[in-house]
Structure 1
Amino acid sequence: MKMIRIGMFSWESLYSIRIGGISPHVSELSEALAAEGHEVHLFTRGRGDDNEIINGVHYHRVACDQNGGIVEQMDRMCDAMYYRFLEVREKAGEFDILHGHDWHPVNVLCRIKAQFGLPFVLTFHSTEWGRNGNCYGDWWETKEISHREWLGGYESSDVIVTSPILKEEIKQIYKIPDYKIWKIPNGINVGKIKRNIDPGDVKRHYGINPFLPVVLFTGRMAYQKGPDLLVEAAARVLKKRDARFVLIGDGGMRSHCEYQAQKLGIGNSCNFLGYAPDNTVIDWFNACDLVCVPSRNEPFGIVVLEAWDAKKPVVASDAVALVENFKTGVVAYKEPSSIAWGLNYVLEGLGRNRMGKKGHDVLKKKYNWKRIAEKTLEVYEKVIEKKPYHKSM
């Protein structure tokens, strides 16, 4: 395969501003594509304007003004990315394809397409419908974001989704035809999370008895991610056994969940750590006994891969498509009593180690970046060469 010059566009990455799951996806996919011999230029936000090569990827950061609403911020980001792209194109040469992630860079992708005829691929990591409790409401920004998701799906040559659930979601909401959609999962660098640590030391550092089992939640404290469902489930679990619940992450529901825990009388059994650095999160993945993913809507769930990398079982809601029930974890309904049942099942020790190991085996086989990069290159080739047919992973 000849070298492809790729323009990758994302509002976040591991080496700029980090928000959520898009950042590892974008950076690690870009690195895997570069390792295959392709030239990847990643346009993203930064604290200032600069250029840097990291792990073979050309980073082009644009200064971000975080005043105003998110739509205004992304308008300014897209303008800055457009002018930076012109500068890079002048020096590096013509690009073969562009690849955007979620709605944030849609305006700049459409602008470059209109001016230079460059095709672009768009990866949907989630939808505004899913992020906002499956309803739009009257908030004008939500409607504008939804419009840009539709526009990106319409103007892109092809669309990538990370799970079957997300594929059906965008087909239903935005009427994107099936022939245009590729299903390519998220990935992880195997060994990224696993550490040889003493779980007791980690627990003691947070005032937790080293012999008590710990349930870990890590993610945005938002309605979509269901932390409130976990707090209610925790109260049910604690009626049966002693345990601790560690919740890592920040967001609009954090104060509500803390109040909820106090009201239920389980405040002393719940540690709300807020935003935590990577080392803290990794320590807890290795120190916990299981990971809970109680999401109401979950387009993929990279936290599941992180749990499996640490060989931990997962108790997940049925919004999470990755978990195979009673093999790599336990699947529960999106309500507290069902989640509590799943937590109790694993805390009893029923298949705990076996499920974590099975998850790790699946991870190595299906979710490694080399395989995902190869499939992504198929998308690029099809778009560049206008191939008429493709198959999903």
Structure 2
Amino acid sequence: MPRVLMLGPSIDAQGGMATVECNIIEAVKRSGDAIDFISTYEDAGKLRKLSIAGAAYARYLTKLGGCDLVHIHMASRGSFDRKRMFMKAAFLRGKPVVVHMHGSEFGVWYEKECGEAKRVQIRKAFDGCAKLIVLSEEWRAFFIDNRICDPGKIVVLHNAVEIPARPVNVCARQDVLFLGRLGARKSPDTLLRAAKTVLKHHPQTRFRFGGDGDVAKYEALARELGIADSCDFLGWTTGKQKEEVIRASRVYCLPSRNEGMPMSVLEAMSYGLATIATPVGGVPQVIQDGVNGYIMPIGDPEFLARRINELLDNSDLSARIGKAGRKTIEESFGMDSYAEKLTKIYEMMARGGSGVG
């Protein structure tokens, strides 16, 4: 495999991007190769962030000459601004750059927050890349429709997960799970409002929220709705704790307003949880409504409550949907095929030179 220098937020960070980085590094390691990774960001105070970025850039410059290509994980806003400096250094050295775009709000940022001068800067940066990896066909269409990147450089690479050895026993569970940062983008308020209706029919059900963010705001909403005693706010969950809460659940819900390709949906489905999500980002590439999961309208707690009640009322339905979801992940979103596809991208870029436009 080519010598890859990878940049992105700390692999110990919270969120889907760090999970993708870890999965890639581990999958490549199993094949007998290795990726040289540099952390460019940690969730810290402003001075600490600047220190980390400066140290990362200095280390990057010392390693740039010895690599065959640079793989940069990027979102939007500050993430783009930080990574653009690294991209320019690679372009000057003639190193091919693969940008891996994770930003679920990149479209909002580009269309509503950026002026034309900033959009020109963005298009110029992507024009210099050898390849742009996006997480879904929907995101590929966005970059093409807005003329941000040459269509020939855009590659769709769906996120992937490791498949757990055994599925959950959904028939033995009644609880509902949400994983992710608690904030407006992922809309935990929609699930809380749905929970109020569900609890009238299933008072023993617990609604668990695993994530950081504005926890106090949503705890207050649970109290306002009179359902606080049925809600658990767990904080950010990883590793064994996350597996435990997944295995203690029957239904997984992610009522987001924007997504890339949500890792939590893939993880929940890989365990065989019946999953409900909105048709944003790459979700429609994963969930076939009523077959291996359910698609819900954005911001519709009444619809969500009906779907949750159906799954809690019918254990056979929950099991069938969960089994079909797990099969989808096994066949199309497993790490082995993902690593193979990524390695082919690396090899093509290393053979093709800088790819600078």
TM over 0.5: yes
Match of 2:313 in 1: 348
- Helix, strand or coil at the partner of 1:382: helix
Change (3 A) 1:251 1:371: same
Q: What per-residue deviation string (whole Å, max 9, x for no partner) do you get for residues 11-52 of structure 1?
A: 121xxx312111121121123234344441011158xxxxxx
1:251 paired with 2:213, answer: yes
For the 8 Å contact 1:317–1:332, the answer to whether it is kept is yes
1:231 Cα deviation from its structure 2 partner: 0.8
- Helix, strand or coil at the partner of 2:158: coil
Percent identity of paired positions between Structure 1 and Structure 2: 25
Supply the distance in 2 between the matched residues of 1:173 and 1:235 (Cα, whole angstroms): 41
Runs of 5+ consecutive residues of structure 1 not aligned to the other structure = 47-63, 201-210, 388-393
User: Quick one: which of 4, 15, 24 aligns to 2:2?
Assistant: 4
Counterpart mapping for 1:128-147 below 5 A: 128-129=105-106, 136=112
Change (3 A) 1:307 1:153: same
Which stretch of structure 1 is more off in the superposition, 328-337 or 78-87? Answer: 78-87
User: Quick one: which of 135, 146, 150 aligns to 1:177?
Assistant: 150
User: Quick one: which of 341, 349, 354 aligns to 1:375?
Assistant: 341
Supply the distance in 2 between the matched residues of 1:372 and 1:148 (Cα, whole angstroms): 31
1:330 paired with 2:294, answer: yes
Q: What per-residue deviation string (whole Å, max 9, x for no partner) do you get for residues 214-236 of structure 1?
A: 10011110211111111111112
Change (3 A) 1:152 1:273: farther
Runs of 5+ consecutive residues of structure 2 not aligned to the other structure = none
TM-score normalised by the chain length of structure 2: 0.84
For the 8 Å contact 2:175–2:250, the answer to whether it is kept is yes
Match of 2:242 in 1: 281
Supply the distance in 2 between the matched residues of 1:241 and 1:82 (Cα, whole angstroms): 54
Paired amino acid for 2:192: V
User: Quick one: which of 68, 72, 84 aligns to 2:46?
Assistant: 68
- Helix, strand or coil at the partner of 1:44: strand
For the 8 Å contact 2:287–2:294, the answer to whether it is kept is yes
Higher helix share: 2
RMSD after superposition: 3.1
Change (3 A) 1:260 1:179: same
1:237 paired with 2:198, answer: yes
Change (3 A) 1:22 1:351: same
TM-score normalised by the chain length of structure 1: 0.77
1:255 Cα deviation from its structure 2 partner: 2.3
Change (3 A) 1:367 1:37: same
Which stretch of structure 1 is more off in the superposition, 100-109 or 330-339? Answer: 100-109
1:279 Cα deviation from its structure 2 partner: 2.0
1:150 Cα deviation from its structure 2 partner: 4.9
- Helix, strand or coil at the partner of 2:92: helix
Match of 2:30 in 1: 35
Q: What per-residue deviation string (whole Å, max 9, x for no partner) do you get for residues 159-198 of structure 1?
A: 0011223223334456223222101111112127x5889x
Return the structure number with greater relative CO, CA threshold 8 A, min gap 6.
Answer: 2
Match of 1:203 in 2: none
1:296 paired with 2:257, answer: yes
Paired amino acid for 2:255: P
How many residues were matched structurally?
Answer: 341
- Helix, strand or coil at the partner of 2:185: helix
Paired amino acid for 2:324: K
Q: What per-residue deviation string (whole Å, max 9, x for no partner) do you get for residues 134-176 of structure 1?
A: 97459x9xx98x8886554333211001122322333445622
Change (3 A) 1:174 1:248: farther
- Helix, strand or coil at the partner of 2:46: coil
Match of 1:126 in 2: 103
For the 8 Å contact 2:136–2:156, the answer to whether it is kept is yes
Supply the distance in 2 between the matched residues of 1:212 and 1:27 (Cα, whole angstroms): 30
Change (3 A) 1:170 1:384: same
User: Quick one: which of 300, 319, 326 aligns to 1:360?
Assistant: 326
Change (3 A) 1:343 1:135: farther
